[in-house]
Amino acid sequence: MINPDSSNLPLPGALVGPWSVVRLVGRGGMAVVYEVERSTDGKRGALKLCQPGRHQAEVEERFRREHRALSRLDHPNVVRVFDGGTWNERPWYVMEFLDGRDLRAEVEAWERGEPGDRFERARRIATDLARALRYVHQSGVVHRDLTPGNVIVRPDGSAVLMDFGVAKEAAVADDDDDLTAHGELLGTVAWIAPEQISGHNVDARADLYSLGALFYLMLTGRRPFHARTLAGYLDKHLNRPPRPPRELNPDVPIELEEVCLRLLQKEPEERYSSAAHLLLALDRSRHESIDLGTWPVEPVGRVAELAALSAAAAACADGQGGLILVEGPHGFGKTTCLRAVETAASQLGLHAHRLGARGAQGALALFRPLVEALLAETGQRHPVLDALLGAGGEQGQVERFAAFSAIRSLLAGTPPRLVAIDNAHLADPTSLELLEYLVRNTRALGAEPVLWVVTRTPGEGSDLAALAQGTSTGARPSVMQLGPLPPAAVEELVGTLVPLDAAARALARRLHREGEGNPAFIVEMMRGLVEERVIVTRDGERRLAL
């Protein structure tokens, strides 16, 4: 029986915002949870209220982080948030009230009843959680706390991921936030990834490890590791391999054991490259009709980079601009990253502009599309800009700083926006000078949140050293270096075209070796395999011809 202190917590019947408290559901170290009903329409929800405690500032920051992360997520396998506010100066939010039981109770019920379709149920739950993680990671969030208690299994067998209290929003540079200032490990130790223990950089693959631990529980009824002490758990996660599930239960399908053990690899690069890669492994027959001309539809092998760009777009929507410089050789996916952040920005309601330096002719030609869009958006006219754009016929001579100031004034007071500039190393010197001027002013004033994402190929065209070092803008940009695709990412790329069996994995290793991790080159090699009929279509599905 939970007995909250009535002086600090609302009682049944009390109103928290428009929500009427029905009953107390649970109480943890950071918050209490109530079943509530909205007074206007009787809608049911679960209200989470931050409660006072030690390290209150940190607790409230975690709580707000969770609310911020969940507020921009909308997926059937992720708990939804409806509302939020403060009660007695403490933050709260309301999420959907989930019917069902947590994963621990679900597995305990399996142990008692041993359903004949246990492994298909486990596969379905793992698939639902992989879908949730694919969406969450693409949105720029790493959950960091997948535990049985944070997964609700609905009566229809579908799974929902919840509790984002220690979630981490991705960044171009690691924010060193994997251990709290008070020495607590983030995540529950029975399910935590080795890199969360060692303090190394934590990315989306840490969630895949924890999902592997949950999958192990579903397959065997046991945790992958057991220990009597915290030190014992940490040692086993860092140094000991788990027993293969089939040693505990010979009925576990071998393909599910393979998936589980790969997820539980100590080194992140030896796991699946992403949740999307995992989904290909969980359902090897899942392949839709593919247009080779536009394949691959989604970026592969850039999960951390795309998550960081999505998080930066979300920060811009919240009023925080910035500059990100994306660097890499030809074919390494710089333009793909721009398209992805443009999509993320548009989904967040940001005004998005993509400018291309390649082929831009004349001084300031790079910025012409942005200037035209701002003029149309604001309804302003300006003689300097009319002359610059040649509105009255021939393009007039314009003093460059007058043009700079006029373009800057167009940005004043406008909503948050993304400006993505591709191949900036090909821009004319005046356009680069304008870029530095606009970045310097929008970052300094802060009233016009603009996220600038700029790509360049090092060693080619104009020198962007001043921009990269921050000497021309007053602030160093976040630099994102795109390297070769790792082997697991090449395997994922192959798996988007053919089922991931042993032959496909062998092909992926060969493509990685011969293509040296260059995604554009590897894609072209695979298109060549289709043309040479090494990859054939049978019964509507592409397969390797053996």
Q: Which residues are catalytic?
A: 145
Backbone phi, psi, residue 508, to 5°: -60, -40
Question: DSSP 3-state assignment of 302?
Answer: coil
Contact 28, 163 (CB under 8 A): no
Maximal CA-CA distance, the chain = 83
Q: Which of 170, 167, 166, 173 is nearest to 140 (CA)?
A: 170
Amino acid at 431: S
d(CA 502, CA 187): 34
Beta strands in 242-286 (DSSP E): none
d(CA 341, CA 309): 6
Amino acid at 462: S
Q: How many residues does the chain have?
A: 546
d(CA 448, CA 309): 19
Angle between the 275-282 and 487-495 helix axes, to the nearest 10 degrees? Answer: 50
- List of long-range contacts for 192-195, beta carbons under 8 Å, 24+ apart: 192/237, 193/237, 193/268, 194/237, 194/238, 194/266, 195/268
d(CA 32, CA 4): 9
Tell me which DSSP letter residue 166 carries.
T
Handedness of CA 201, 203, 208, 211 (dihedral sign): positive
Q: Which of 136, 138, 488 is nearest to 281 (CA)?
A: 488
Tally of CB atoms within 10 A around 187: 23
